[in-house]
A = this chain, B = another copy of it.
Amino acid sequence: MLMNTPRLMERMKREGMDAIVATAPENVTYTSGFWAMSQWIRRGPQAYVLTPAEGRGEQAVVASTGTLDLLADQEVPIKDVRRYGFFAIESDICVDHDERDQRVSRMLDEEDCGDAVNALVSAIRDRGLDNACIGVDEMGIIPQYLDKLAVALPRATIKRAAETFRHARAVKTAEEVVRLRGSARVAELSIDAALAVAKEGATERELAYAFHAKTIAEGGTPVLGVICTGPRSALSSGQPTDRKLVRGDVIRFDVGGRHGHYRADISRIAVLGEASDKVKAYHRAIRAGLMHAYDLIKPGVRTADVFNKVVETVRKEGIPHYRRNHVGHGIGLDGYDAPNITPGSGEVFERGMCICVETPYYEMGFAGLQVEDMLHVTADGIESLMSTSSELRIL
């Protein structure tokens, strides 16, 4: 189970929601385990999960007929599936069908609801929720569909609910922590694979190729990140080019794909050959900031306090002019889950949160330096989800 049901239910209660509808891919997968490829790779395809408050009924999935094969092929425990749209799937009547194909056939036997809104409305009505308060995740539903939903449910109160899901997702379930540890591991192995080809004359593209190929070989899905060398490492979102590595170059990774649908986001710095004194000193300073966060973070601590103390540490330890907008964020199905580790955040660390802590430093004409680890907040501190050190790697 990915979903933190008690936390979501508690938040829905506080916001007076009788049911909540997931529409963005992260929230659909979160509440059901259903991974509907089309909505992950494009904006527009609609899949929803209706989750009523406790005692208000069972969950329901709304899926296009063309994605029923995925639903049948995945471990989705929700029985009520409302399909919409015509999609031709034939069946060879002369053979015995396996369980998956039988599940597809049963779902095809159900009525076509026409479109995603009709399907959702039918599920809401069948639970007697058509005069209730319905939270709708506003980030995945097409605006025209949200209008249509409001017209179809004139007695319902519809509230935006993306923030409700974001709150629930901040504290991870055990299964989510396992997946995040896996995604972190794949990212680390992919960095190792990229560094294995890092030699004089190797290009940023060659490093990126080695990185992503390893991510795929480990069963992950690449997500574009930053792999840049030399002065280009100072580009915060720089993309790989044909620039060739020369001795003394900084290599900056700010990377992480998906594994089991969960994101990684980690950073490491390597230097080809001898590192300059400035690189060594500055890297030491940003790493001191990260390591200080390891000591500070525990349940009940304010994220803003951690921000201030980490920045202060980097300043004291070697970069007096250090400035940042944040020194970290939650990580999960999205690369930026709650909480934010920012000066203005009112959030507090809670047991079960999984977070990235990072202290990047970008200086044009010099380099970009960055360390970023993934951590899991435990009862009395943190456990690292990393297997490798953030020390400067000299190649």
Contact = CB atoms under 8 A, between A and B. Distances in A.
Interface string A37-72: 110111110000000000000000000001101100
A143 interface: yes
Interface string A1-12: 000000000000
A362 B139 contact: no
Interface string A306-333: 0000000000000001111100000000
A321 B366 CA distance: 66
Contact of A336 (B44, B219, B222): B44
Given A90-B321, A365-B92, A335 B41 contact: yes
Copy number in the complex reads 2
Interface stretch (A233-241, A292-300, A380-388): A233-241
A213 interface: yes
Interface string A211-236: 01100110101111000000100111
A360 to B, nearest CB: 9
A73 interface: yes
A364 interface: yes
Nearest to A90: B363
Contacts of A224: 37, 40-41, 221
Interface stretch (A97-105, A115-123, A267-275): A97-105
A213 B105 CA distance: 35
Interface stretch (A14-22, A80-88, A177-185): A80-88
Interface in A149-199: 160
Contacts of A366: 90, 92, 95
Contacts of A389: none
Interface residues of A, number: 69
Contacts of A364: 89-92, 97, 101, 104-105
A65 to B, nearest CB: 8
A305 interface: no
Given A90-B361, A138-B143, A236 B69 contact: yes
Contacts of A86: 325
Nearest to A166: B44
29 contacts: A24-B43, A37-B224, A37-B237, A41-B223, A41-B224, A41-B335, A69-B234, A69-B235, A70-B238, A70-B239, A73-B239, A85-B325, A88-B324, A89-B236, A90-B361, A91-B363, A92-B363, A94-B365, A95-B365, A96-B365, A101-B364, A101-B365, A105-B364, A143-B143, A143-B160, A208-B216, A209-B216, A212-B212, A212-B216
Interface of A: 24, 37-38, 40-44, 66-67, 69-70, 73, 85-92, 94-98, 101, 104-105, 138-140, 142-144, 160, 205, 208-209, 212-213, 216-217, 219, 221-224, 231, 234-239, 321-325, 334-336, 361-366
